[in-house]
Structure 1
Amino acid sequence: MTPIDPCPPDSGRLTICDRAPIPGGVDGAWWPRSADLGDELSDVLAVLSRLIGPIRRVVYDTAAWTSAPSRVMHRNHAVAVDAYRLVASDTLYLVGTHSRDALLYVIASDVPAPTARSVLDTVGAGKESIGVTQLRRMVHGQPAPTGHWQEGAAL
């Protein structure tokens, strides 16, 4: 029996917001279909290059991905894809060519659809400042602290 993807192919798995002016503030959230960064990255590059301009580098943690290329081609330009052990496993950094960057919170591909949708919807709503720590609480089922969505620590 073939498993049914709970998220139809035409529904969004990437949402963008204004970066929160707090430590660990995100520019968006992404729910890839698999843990193969090479298979998943092209769509993210297409969308984020509209936000930050041409992308020259993607930085990730190897613990979060089963495989990743050392570079990918996007719009006839090579984009370096670099593993870095100090990057949190649930984040992806994209560095543009004009000193602009983006931080994405990455929802693991095996997170249940209702949880992933909730995170994507929360980030997409952009009603409050949101950062990595708060998104981690949502994914792992921890209660949110009372008050604002403030982050206690940077990545």
Structure 2
Amino acid sequence: MANAVTDCSTTARLALCDHSDRRGTVDGAWWPPDYLLRTALVDLVSVMGLTLGSVRRVLYDPTVFPSAPARIIRGNTAISVDRYSLVSRDTIYVMGTHARNALLYVVPPETAEARAGDLLEKVADAAHPVSVRMLRALASGRLSADGAIG
């Protein structure tokens, strides 16, 4: 299963995979266009709302995203955007209603489009839970593009 938010390129910005409760795994990967959460979160919250129901809170690491709004207003709803140092630097946590949440690996915005696209495709097509460790290796180039995830 994959949902995508796109900018002017043809590469998806978000890929979701099957949920797992296993430690170290993620529910998907997100490739933000930049480190400015004020603009990047609007699209992410919109798409994640389709999966999680209304998004009520987003947790992020302030060392990765230095500038973020305290909340995002979407329609009549205010979504809290909170700094949280216990979240892994390369993940973002999106909390929906009724205890439906998603942990997303954040592909660095400076990642080349081809590499980011390959990573997101592998996440969307994964047959098994996807680990943060494997996504880090793939994003950094330490794992070949032919390497299987899951």
Deviation at 1:10, TM superposition (A): 4.7
Q: State the match for 2:53 in structure 1.
A: 53
Q: State the match for 1:153 in structure 2.
A: none
CA–CA separation in structure 1 for the residues paired with 2:10 and 2:117: 14
Q: Please list every run of 5 or more consecutive structure 1 residues that lacks an aligned counterpart in the other structure.
A: 1-6, 151-155
The 1:31–1:121 alpha-carbon spacing in structure 2 relative to 1, beyond 3 Å, is same
- Whether contact under 8 Å (2:61, 2:84) holds in the other structure is yes
Q: State the match for 2:112 in structure 1.
A: 112
Q: TM-score, normalised by structure 2?
A: 0.85
**Percent identity between the two aligned chains:** 37
Paired positions, count = 141
CA–CA separation in structure 2 for the residues paired with 1:114 and 1:26: 21
Deviation at 1:55, TM superposition (A): 1.1
CA–CA separation in structure 2 for the residues paired with 1:55 and 1:141: 33
1:127-142 map, 5 Å: 127-142=127-142
1:48-105 deviation digits (Å, cap 9, x = unpaired):
1111111111000011113100000123200000001111111010111211101111
Q: Please list every run of 5 or more consecutive structure 2 residues that lacks an aligned counterpart in the other structure.
A: 1-6
1:124-146 deviation digits (Å, cap 9, x = unpaired):
112222121110111122248xx
Deviation at 1:20, TM superposition (A): 3.1
Q: TM-score, normalised by structure 1?
A: 0.82
- Whether contact under 8 Å (2:14, 2:31) holds in the other structure is yes
- Whether contact under 8 Å (1:20, 1:131) holds in the other structure is no
- Whether contact under 8 Å (1:31, 1:107) holds in the other structure is yes
Residue type of the partner of 2:96? Answer: G
SS in 2 for 1:69: coil
The 1:109–1:149 alpha-carbon spacing in structure 2 relative to 1, beyond 3 Å, is closer
CA–CA separation in structure 2 for the residues paired with 1:93 and 1:14: 14
CA–CA separation in structure 2 for the residues paired with 1:143 and 1:43: 29
Which of these two proteins has the greater Rg computed from alpha carbons?
Answer: 1
SS in 2 for 1:62: coil
